[in-house]
Structure 1
Amino acid sequence: MSGGGGDPLDGFDTTIHAPHRLRVCALLEGAGEAEFALVQNQLGLSASALSKHVTVLMDAGYVAQRKAVRDTRQRVWLRLTRRGRAAYQGHLAALRAIVKPSDPAP
Structure 2
Amino acid sequence: MKIGAELADGVVLRELGERLTRIRLERNLTQATLAEQAGVAKRTVERLEAGEVATQLSGFLRVCRVLGLLERFDALVPEPLPSPMAQLKLQGRKRRRASGKKPGATPTKKWTWGDES
Same fold (TM over 0.5): no
Q: Based on CA coordinates, which of the two structures has the bigger radius of gyration?
A: 2
Structure that is richer in strand per residue: 1
TM-score, normalised via structure 1 length: 0.33
